[in-house]
Structure 1
């Protein structure tokens, strides 16, 4: 008979195990505490798939499920499947861009992993770098296993944007957009849905929602003129920010009472159009909060109340034209345009303010590709309102004009240079309306601009601009701006006072809200 261990032995044994366990626990806890407090990612420390960046928000739609699919799909499970599936797509994009494939193992099963890694390695070995992003997914569920471990579905009309570069020189070889279907199988593994099968197929169409609107109260273009309810409409406008909260403080300090009072004033002064700006970051990029949508709704409703048409300029302060940021711009565009596609106060969507200024910092072809793509998407979300682009210079305004309803440009140059710019533009674009969307003259004269202009100079300038516009075919105009501002944020023109002080004084109303001499020239 084998001797049994004594009770004392057990106590010693479990005592040793307890001490060792506590030491290990303390050590692991201490390491994690140190790791997290150095700014490290908790997902990495715990071997979890990372959260998606806020810039990657492709559209995901569940189409009607097949019948029968097996077990009924829970809403929570749908959310988890989408989350892990889109993470897998995002990791593909990173792997193609960097040539590093290790991260794919978190999103694909071991059997599927080589099928994903091999094309990436082959492309990298040939000296290429692929930048891509996914923009749309439309998921049709076919099967959900009884044990909740397997799903199969077709991802229809997956929309991908791609740019291929020569890696060493970073020279772009081509840029394209692809629409395709994928047959997908995913397995629940270690608490996460991983892709077991991803097979590309020819795309098949499906029914999509459309909304026909009554355009009788909306601005329309016929030939080179604007009309509302079949009557000629000549935009006579002013660029608008509240006097005390311009630019980056407009939406964060939104005050409906101030705006309503200002719009009533704009109407009483004789203007019929206002141009406003939607800050891409203030509207939280691709995840637009409901309260921001409501602010824009209030603004449009107030404009309608005061019989004003609104040019809504989108994506202000956007300066990222990489493919990985496309989905964020697409979600903001979709949210706003679908929400307001029947609102009668909107004259037009201006899809970007002065994008030609971005040519200095970004590849010109990338900027134009983004613009062309946004215009196409905008037309699909809102077929009712006009589209334009607010170019900084008339010499650039011919670009993409075939995709626009009217051509807009800005000019702060002399009336003579304005006239030459219009002549050059009208030779290239002679079938669509042209709008001078920004012009103006600062009335600041002081220590930072001792030879600056005054109100008399501004009035003369306005009269000369009006005459040029009359001679060139009664071109509509939108002056910069309603008010002299109390302050201008440093991020707009920098901190230097010789830049900021002149920028404060472009208004047709002074800081006390009183009309300057040039106002009568504009509204007579």
Structure 2
């Protein structure tokens, strides 16, 4: 990192530590008007770098332990900062934040406010990803029974409540409408909004059960517009994005969310990318498909199907296309993983150590 870049990032993080009065919206990270990069309030470049904090190593979602084990959350945020993060992506669940279609949960919102204060103290920015239904067994029956229009209204209620809670925090980097949404090509059964399962969690969610002849991209656009409007009504300076999921074996399709159209609707593009050792050309095509005049953040990346050193090489080779990168932290520091003596622990330990040493920006 150059001296100027280090100074800019330091100033940006100090802004995050300082905090702001409870009234009004503080200055935020913004998109540069002259290119696909982020800027701090003072004008220095900002490169999102850090972790998804979606669960812990015991398989518990954040809302399942953040009340009784707040010290664990605080320790994890401090550790992510020590590992070089400036950004943490958290995943908020519908079941925790909505009691009913029009009734936000005040207790969860207070806990979110406390989490944002924790981020401020640690000099961390937060990617607030919402509308999670990761644990099928806890998704409210009333939520799955809603029609498309009523479900969208409930989702707008969720986002208005979250944005109203977060708007006074200097720690907010962005609002991410949903993790890996999709528009189905064909009608789905009544109440069936989730697709697939990974590690016991359902990360992929439909925004409609039946497109009713509408182009998939138009459904996606209308959904994004409604929720973005809901957020901006409470937090006008907010950056809004959505985590795009490339369809398997089709790098030209993003589950109904057309990147070109999304670049006109969103403040920046986010994509989830897990390169395959033998098919790096496909990962490159995904990045190329997301090229626009907006910044691109790879907000999920991890060496699932590739050696860590090759993934790092891939990231460095595409540094000019990507404004920021986020991997995963599940609550175990490298020292604890090394002491486990397990194969999985050794792999994760190696990756976290490499990640800590690899902090951007880089230039080829």
Give the TM-score of the pair, scaled to structure 1. 0.47
Q: Please say if residues 93 and 131 of structure 2, whose CA atoms lie closer than 8 Å, have aligned partners that are also in contact.
A: yes
Question: Which of the residues 231, 244, 254 maps onto 1:378?
Answer: 231
1:340 CA displacement:
1.4
SS in structure 2 opposite 1:419? helix
1:353 CA displacement:
1.1
**How far apart, CA to CA, are the structure 2 residues paired with 1:307 and 1:513?**
29
SS in structure 1 opposite 2:261? coil
Corresponding residue for residue 406 of structure 1: 268
**How far apart, CA to CA, are the structure 1 residues paired with 2:298 and 2:96?**
27
Residue 312 (structure 1) aligned with residue 161 (structure 2): no
Distance 1:274 1:234, change over 3 A: same
Q: Please say if residues 321 and 370 of structure 1, whose CA atoms lie closer than 8 Å, have aligned partners that are also in contact.
A: no
Alignment of 1:150-165 (within 5 A): none
Corresponding residue for residue 423 of structure 1: 288
Deviations 1:267-304 (A, max 9, x none): 10111111011111221253122110011112111111
Corresponding residue for residue 227 of structure 1: 39
Distance 1:359 1:292, change over 3 A: farther
Q: Please say if residues 37 and 323 of structure 2, whose CA atoms lie closer than 8 Å, have aligned partners that are also in contact.
A: no
**How far apart, CA to CA, are the structure 2 residues paired with 1:253 and 1:355?**
26
Q: Please say if residues 435 and 476 of structure 1, whose CA atoms lie closer than 8 Å, have aligned partners that are also in contact.
A: yes
Alignment of 1:47-446 (within 5 A): 213-215=25-27, 218-223=28-33, 224-228=36-40, 229-244=42-57, 246=59, 249-254=61-66, 255-284=69-98, 285=100, 286-317=102-133, 322-356=148-182, 361=188, 362=209, 363=211, 364=216, 365-393=218-246, 395=252, 396=254, 397-414=259-276, 415-426=280-291, 429=292, 431-442=293-304
1:512 CA displacement:
6.5
**How far apart, CA to CA, are the structure 1 residues paired with 2:174 and 2:110?**
19
**How far apart, CA to CA, are the structure 1 residues paired with 2:260 and 2:50?**
22
Larger radius of gyration: 1
Of 305-314 and 224-233, deviating more is 224-233
**How far apart, CA to CA, are the structure 2 residues paired with 1:517 and 1:299?**
28
Distance 1:398 1:521, change over 3 A: farther
Q: Please say if residues 436 and 478 of structure 1, whose CA atoms lie closer than 8 Å, have aligned partners that are also in contact.
A: yes
1:484 CA displacement:
8.1
Distance 1:459 1:221, change over 3 A: same
**How far apart, CA to CA, are the structure 2 residues paired with 1:342 and 1:518?**
35
**How far apart, CA to CA, are the structure 2 residues paired with 1:390 and 1:510?**
30
Q: Please say if residues 296 and 321 of structure 2, whose CA atoms lie closer than 8 Å, have aligned partners that are also in contact.
A: no
Distance 1:404 1:439, change over 3 A: same
Question: Which of the residues 310, 316, 324 maps onto 1:476?
Answer: 324
Distance 1:441 1:369, change over 3 A: same
Give the TM-score of the pair, scaled to structure 2. 0.66
Distance 1:514 1:464, change over 3 A: closer
Structure 1's unaligned 5+ residue stretches are 1-210, 443-452, 486-508
1:376 CA displacement:
2.0
Distance 1:465 1:290, change over 3 A: same
**How far apart, CA to CA, are the structure 1 residues paired with 2:347 and 2:275?**
26
Aligned pairs, number: 270
Corresponding residue for residue 84 of structure 1: none
Q: Which has the higher relative contact order, 1 or 2, with Cα contacts under 8 A spaced 6 or more apart?
A: 2
**How far apart, CA to CA, are the structure 2 residues paired with 1:370 and 1:484?**
34
Structure 2's unaligned 5+ residue stretches are 1-22, 134-142, 189-208, 333-341, 359-364
Provide the aligned C-alpha RMSD in A.
2.8
Distance 1:465 1:353, change over 3 A: same
SS in structure 2 opposite 1:311? strand
**How far apart, CA to CA, are the structure 1 residues paired with 2:32 and 2:49?**
18
Q: Please say if residues 31 and 38 of structure 2, whose CA atoms lie closer than 8 Å, have aligned partners that are also in contact.
A: yes
